[in-house]
Amino acid sequence: MRRNRSNLPKLLVASCLTLFAELALIRFLSTEVRIFAYAKNLALLLCFLGFGVGCALASKPVWWRRGIQALLALILLIDNPWTPRMFEGLSQTLGAGQDTAIWFVGTERNWPNFILAAAIAGILFFLLSAAFIPLGQVVSGEIDSAPDRLRAYSWNLAASLLGIVLFSLVSVAELPPAFWFGSVLAGFAFLQEGWKRRLIVAVLIVPAVFLLYEKASPDHFSIWTPYQQVEVWRDYFKNGEWKWTTIDVNHVGHQTIVNLSPEFLSRHPGLLQQPVEDNPYNLPFRFTVANPSVLVVGAGSGNDVAGAVRGHSSSVDAVEIDPAILELGRGHPERPYDSALVTTHLADARAFMKRADKRYDLVLFGLLDSHTQPSEYANMRIDNYVYTEQSLRKARDLLSPNGVLFLKFQVDRDWLGQRFYELLSRVFGKPPLVFVAEPGYGAGGVCFVISQGDQVEKRIAEDSQLRTFVARQGRTYLGPAAVALTTDDWPYLYQRNRSIPVVFLTLSLLVVGLAFGYRRLILPRTVASGTAGQSALFFFAMGAGFLLLETQTVSRLALFFGTTWQVNGVAIGSVLTALVLANLVAETFHERLDRWWTLAGLLGALISIYFLPFDRLPGSVVVVGSVGAALFGIPVFFAGLLFAREFRCAESPSAALAANMLGAVVGGLMENLSLVVGLRALLLVAALFYVLAALGLWAADRTLNRTPDPRPLAEAQSRAEGALL
């Protein structure tokens, strides 16, 4: 213990850099190795694992060389110029199967290739965790050295919050990975001892930026939005006229901007492969009343909005979550977003529908499908809450008496089509009309059409060409076995059943296997026996319970306010702020804090939230959501109080942090249970971990009859002596 020799600037930089590097590496890995876009929280757990190992090694020389080598090796493997996209086969192999739907992967699993792909993923996981070991050593070492460990821990939390804010600003500014990792290496250079080492690490910024540099031209460029990497390709006819613009997300085809104006089509009569009225962007308006009022959710680059303008709509509300894609849509050749009839809304679709009080003749779900997750703390995709039973009921309630709901989706698993079919049947009390719209010029998909009244049936009866088209392209999704229907508590649209998919199990086992590989490092003697071992159980269980609680906070706020990056940032920021506040209270009133009453308050708050019916609370979405956020803040505050009280008198702060971070890894793995039991049940799992934490405290007291911490008395005596002198 190097008491009274802490370096506050070093602690602040290391803490801020830890969160910044976590977010940077998670985004980079999930973009370049697509399979990890669907399991971001596992990458987060590896960061926690590496940081926890570093905390356990606080007394050892800092592993800067190994950590920097791991970071550079990870960048070189993933984004090397010689074999670009070398990990695409990894994604296709690991993601194959019928138990989950991942775009553009097969349904048959090749087990030999699967095992090989898992081994390669394990190498990536090892490099990711190793990069965080030196950061854990620095942070825990500085807290160990601090004269007031609780205050140092508060500074650690505050700087971590700053790291989140900085990366959010970088994402909003759409800066590329070359800037992210240049900043991370600059932070590593600052933390070195001696100017020679700082210079060596600073020089490494040059090759890292060179590897990550992305060539760009007016017709091919990338945009790193707060959600994903958007890659844009513009194609032209031989005469140089624009043909279409393709938009890829995380290196996978996402949407194509097309021009269906009569003037453009007359110049290129062979472009369409079907009658123009049968194009997927024109079809919805063949079912509606004349001059409809339209809501487009998932407006994207503007094709559906352009169809609404061509369809002589009276008004159009266009909702899109990604600012970069919306901005690309403003360059659409038909300029739909410039129309006086169109109002754009940069918002989450579910959140917009909750706030909307207008009635529409057509609610159009564009090809609103997600390739990524909004948060590192939960296995949810951006659109999960859009396709739940409660969300579709809200969409139904937005329809006018003759209103039509038109939902387009890329259905590449029959069970996925069956889920939509059964959801709409339950919500509307009758089955939807289902048919396939061929892509031709633009994107196609399976279409589900339904209305509360008889508007759809009436249009089919009146339009013989439409009736013939629907009969020819019709599809039936009535499987032999019922599929689990998505709800706000179980919103996992892309999962076949209430089970953990093989790919998630495999990746989770890789994390567990890596943790066992580190076991000799993360089980130092100070936490392996006696009272310290019981204390380690407490901090371990607190970490596991807290990550589950954090997952619940993020998921609940996303349900109320939308799965946007702003909501995610506010949720994580509010959690860290509550912890800082708890530390301040614990430091001020430590003599009055009773651990058992604090624990009782924590468990009571968790159980109360579990049984509270948020969907029945009166008031607007903002009011109910704010109440929900405040209620979830109560157990976070109690957990922070309990942790701060025990951390203040822990025998080894670094060992306590190590146990806490490793517990967070276990808690993150337990988050996968929500795929089976739903999100709300995770509150009970968190409560069980907090009970386990209480058992650790009770066992420690019973073993050694631990007396109250003598340090407050010693500090008081020291102050008294100073006053006398």
617: in domain:
yes
CA 688 – CA 3 distance, rounded (Å): 36
* Statement: residue 6 has pLDDT above 70: no
CB neighbourhood size of 242 (10 A): 14
Side-chain-side CA neighbours of 344 within 13 Å: the count stands at: 22
What's the Rg (C-alpha) of the chain?
A: 28
Share of the chain above pLDDT 90, in %: 56
pLDDT digits (tens, 9 = 90+) for 80-123: 777 767 777 787 888 888 888 877 777 888 888 889 988 999 99
Q: Output the domain CATH number for residue 608.
A: 1.20.1250
Token digits of residue 604: 């009571």
* Statement: residue 480 has pLDDT above 50: yes
CA 286 – CA 223 distance, rounded (Å): 36
Q: Output the domain CATH number for residue 459.
A: 3.40.50.150
CB neighbourhood size of 436 (10 A): 15
Residue where a domain stops, chosen among 521, 553, 588: 521
Q: What's the confidence (pLDDT) of residue 3? A: 45
Average pLDDT over residues 58-71: 94
CA 226 – CA 172 distance, rounded (Å): 6
For the full predicted model, state whether its pTM sits above 0.75.
yes
Phi and psi dihedrals of 101, rounded to 5?
Answer: -110, 115
DSSP 676-724: HH-STTHHHHHHHHHHHHHHHHHHHHHHH-PPPPSHHHHHHHHHHHHHH
What angle do helix axes 64-78 and 8-32 make, rounded to 10 degrees?
A: 20
Query: Structural domain of residue 120, as residue ranges?
Result: 1-215+499-521
67: in domain:
yes
CA 135 – CA 132 distance, rounded (Å): 5
CA 545 – CA 537 distance, rounded (Å): 12
> Are 528 and 461 in a shared domain?
no
Distances (CA, A) of 367 to 219, 408, 456, 495, 579: 24, 5, 21, 18, 40
Which residues neighbour 160 within 8 Å (Cβ) at sequence distance 6 or greater? 15, 16, 18, 19, 576
CA 286 – CA 302 distance, rounded (Å): 19
Which residues neighbour 291 within 8 Å (Cβ) at sequence distance 6 or greater? 312, 313, 314
Beta bridge partners of 449: 406, 433
250: in domain:
no
How many domains does the chain divide into?
A: 3
CB neighbourhood size of 439 (10 A): 15
CA 654 – CA 651 distance, rounded (Å): 9
> Are 517 and 456 in a shared domain?
no
> Are 460 and 517 in a shared domain?
no
Least confident of 68-77, 85-94, 136-145, 495-504: 85-94
Higher-scoring residue by pLDDT: 572, 460: 460
CA 602 – CA 588 distance, rounded (Å): 20
The answer to whether the beta carbons of residues 380 and 573 sit under 8 Å apart is no
pLDDT digits (tens, 9 = 90+) for 215-233: 899 999 999 988 888 999 9
The answer to whether the beta carbons of residues 667 and 545 sit under 8 Å apart is yes
CA 39 – CA 24 distance, rounded (Å): 15
Which residues neighbour 564 within 8 Å (Cβ) at sequence distance 6 or greater? 321, 347, 348, 351, 374
Average pLDDT over residues 325-334: 95
Token digits of residue 653: 């702060």
CA 218 – CA 245 distance, rounded (Å): 12
> Are 82 and 122 in a shared domain?
yes
Q: Are strands 220-224 and 342-346 parallel, antiparallel or unpaired?
A: unpaired
Higher-scoring residue by pLDDT: 302, 575: 302
CA 134 – CA 234 distance, rounded (Å): 44
pLDDT band at 34 (very low <50, low <70, confident <90, very high): confident
> Are 573 and 678 in a shared domain?
yes
pLDDT digits (tens, 9 = 90+) for 341-397: 999 999 989 989 988 989 999 999 988 776 666 665 666 677 888 999 999 999 999
* Statement: residue 303 has pLDDT above 90: yes
Residue where a domain stops, chosen among 460, 486, 521: 521
The answer to whether the beta carbons of residues 170 and 10 sit under 8 Å apart is no
606: in domain:
yes
Residue type, 124: L
Mean pLDDT of all residues belonging to the chain = 87
Query: Chain centroid to CA 537: how far?
Result: 29
pLDDT band at 534 (very low <50, low <70, confident <90, very high): low
Q: What's the confidence (pLDDT) of residue 372? A: 64
Least confident of 160-174, 568-582, 674-688: 568-582
pLDDT digits (tens, 9 = 90+) for 643-696: 998 898 888 888 899 999 999 999 999 998 999 999 999 999 999 999 999 998
CA 521 – CA 75 distance, rounded (Å): 25
CA 365 – CA 461 distance, rounded (Å): 24
Sign of CA dihedral 451, 453, 457, 460: negative
* Statement: residue 526 has pLDDT above 50: no
Least confident of 33-37, 73-77, 302-306, 407-411: 33-37
Token digits of residue 264: 């453009």
Q: What's the confidence (pLDDT) of residue 478? A: 78
The answer to whether the beta carbons of residues 602 and 388 sit under 8 Å apart is no
> Are 516 and 535 in a shared domain?
no
Q: What's the confidence (pLDDT) of residue 342? A: 97
The answer to whether the beta carbons of residues 388 and 488 sit under 8 Å apart is yes
At residue 708's C-alpha, the angle toward residues 706 and 714, to 5°, is: 130
- 592-598: long-range contacts (C-beta < 8 A, 24 or more apart)? 593/641, 593/645, 595/642, 595/645, 595/646, 595/697, 596/694, 598/638, 598/641, 598/642, 598/645
* Statement: residue 312 has pLDDT above 70: yes
Residue type, 133: I
619: in domain:
yes
Residue closest to 157 by CA, chosen among 583, 552, 553 = 583
111: in domain:
yes
Token digits of residue 592: 């009055």
> Are 510 and 560 in a shared domain?
no
CA 21 – CA 210 distance, rounded (Å): 19
Which residues neighbour 604 within 8 Å (Cβ) at sequence distance 6 or greater? none
CA 224 – CA 23 distance, rounded (Å): 13
> Are 517 and 464 in a shared domain?
no
Distances (CA, A) of 251 to 187, 321, 503, 567: 29, 19, 20, 26
CA 377 – CA 390 distance, rounded (Å): 23
381: in domain:
no
> Are 403 and 509 in a shared domain?
no
302: left (phi over 0), alpha (psi -120 to 50) or beta: left
Alpha helices, H only, 239-322: 262-267, 303-310
Token digits of residue 664: 């967070």
Residue closest to 652 by CA, chosen among 17, 56, 32, 30 = 56
CA 524 – CA 532 distance, rounded (Å): 10
> Are 318 and 202 in a shared domain?
no
* Statement: residue 710 has pLDDT above 60: no
> Are 516 and 541 in a shared domain?
no
pLDDT band at 5 (very low <50, low <70, confident <90, very high): low
> Are 112 and 190 in a shared domain?
yes
Q: What's the confidence (pLDDT) of residue 724? A: 30
538: in domain:
yes
